Chain A
């Protein structure tokens, strides 16, 4: 994985010093809260429901054992012994003191980590495929491109005060595991005449007005990537709406202009920018690529696994995925234990996963947008030992992509923007469907919950989506069906009037019952919904 050189390190350290100075000026009164707020936000520091919340960037969701251990250390020393992995592959801490924040950033900098641009109206952490580098279906590892974009976007002087936040994802497989087309800019690496380049989508997003991004360029060569993206951002910075925060994302600009006109403007800007020498030489991407070269795989490893322990066999079937290298496997660690809080992990659990990464996964792990963890380089012969170790700390839930593998934002238990609690609903649904055999029978079913229209819980992209709303001061939940964040991206449709907390759990059960009644062989919930439409589900819910 990528390692900082002296330049990266000095920039991150300068940032720590800068934020220490800004914090001191705030505490002394030299800065008002209005002035300080955008400064702390671009360092990931929010004021949330109970305290300050700090969001730490995990660039493209990749980290080492040492970095993971630092995350546990911060949870233990500065927070209340746990952290929350988010749908943008980051981690956030819920109980941070402003006066500690500079020290935390300093500790993060010792392991090449930071909180730069994890909030604010700027380019956020670049996200990617959690199976990057290890899945057989990719045309190239997307992470060098993501790292190039990370560096370019860090402290970008022109784009620090965009109309609104800006999220970029880079993938490199036909199968989309990162909800790429629901990003402000989504990049899919593709191959043309043996050369890898970027297929660029713009104007996707969730929130109040969800949109699936249209393609704006079928191929951007590596040597033009930065100037092309810079042009796309400049058009947005100049013409994105600033009169209404709810219309300020690029998706509204692209929608109002039309993809063709937006594309035309970007091309025009790009033609001018390309002359300016803004692109790093290809040697720079090659340098970065060097860090993502395949590790030293062992050859001749056995491909068979002893499946005599039935619980272990179930976990393998559900959570372990095929690796491009014979004898190896990709292990998904579910952070959705039955009745637990989706995405939360204690410092002991974080430490344990760091240990496992060091011992069994070439010292590397990943965070997924579904709020789970991945060990990407596991010898099949080690699977049983890993499973046992995970089971000891309650992390061996065999539910990847099943109905209890719920994405849930923090909701009203933590978030000051929330209308309703998300976690409690996730827990009740997971308990209702507690029987693992029933979950497996329902098959792949992506259930996603957001506590407000900001959609951090990706509810629009859920096969089943749940949105918390405020109905005269009482929590209420809207149900939507048919969304997908994958390569067949689609937005869910609302079923009708909302439900109270228990009602929404019943409603979820009713729609899964319809699925079980109507499905044909091999159909997932989403497939059945797409085939039969909303009507039968509506009848079951409101009929």
Chain B
């Protein structure tokens, strides 16, 4: 069973993530944890000093964290982006596509299920922040290169 999963080459961030409010008043924190109601955009001015953002999913059905992740990546954040909480193995593909690169689920994943999920979809319809070419780009290589 897997209780931590990382797709990064560097060591996972160890610094305890501070809350969103604490982060605002603490100029030296480098790890922050955001809850579903927090506005990820407020972190954008501080991105260069952040090395870990934990996005909490108190319940798996609350999808705000997917938008938060994409917003951070779209703004150029390259540090660790970790999904924590009620994260299910059937969600990790979508989370990877939104820019998450590490996972600390409340309930450990089964490695076989992780591998199967990650291998399943060879093609995707949307362009997101994960660098995968959507099918429209594959269909029209001449117009979408570069």
Contacts and interface: CB of A to CB of B under 8 A. Distances in A.
Contact of B74 (A22, A162, A276): A276
Given A35-B88, A157-B97, A162-B63, A25 B120 contact: no
Interface stretch (A5-13, A128-136, A344-352, A532-540): A5-13
Interface of B: 36, 60-64, 66-67, 70, 74, 88, 90-91, 93-95, 97-98, 110, 113, 116-117, 120-128, 134-140, 143-144
B97 to A, nearest CB: 4
A188 to B, nearest CB: 24
Contacts of A280: 134, 136-137, 140
A38 B61 contact: yes
Contacts, number: 107
B135 A7 contact: yes
A159 B121 contact: no
Contacts of B124: 11, 155
Given A7-B123, A39-B90, A281-B144, A158 B67 contact: yes
B108 to A, nearest CB: 12
B103 to A, nearest CB: 15
Contact of A157 (B98, B110, B116, B117): B98
Nearest to B130: A157
The dominant DSSP class at the A interface is helix
A308 B116 CA distance: 65
Nearest to B100: A157
Pairs of residues from A and B, 6 with the lowest C-beta to C-beta distance, nearest first: A161-B63, A157-B97, A280-B136, A157-B94, A7-B135, A281-B143
A283 B141 CA distance: 11
Nearest to A156: B126
Given A152-B125, A280-B136, A281-B144, A158 B66 contact: yes
A244 interface: no
30 contacts: A5-B139, A7-B135, A10-B122, A11-B123, A14-B121, A14-B123, A18-B117, A22-B90, A35-B88, A38-B61, A121-B61, A121-B63, A151-B136, A155-B121, A155-B125, A157-B66, A157-B97, A158-B94, A158-B98, A158-B128, A160-B94, A161-B61, A237-B67, A242-B62, A280-B137, A281-B136, A281-B140, A283-B140, A287-B139, A287-B140
A121 B64 CA distance: 13
A238 B64 contact: yes
A161 B74 CA distance: 20
A10 B122 CA distance: 8
B143 A14 contact: no
B123 A10 contact: yes
Contacts of B91: 160
Contacts of B62: 161, 242
A109 to B, nearest CB: 14
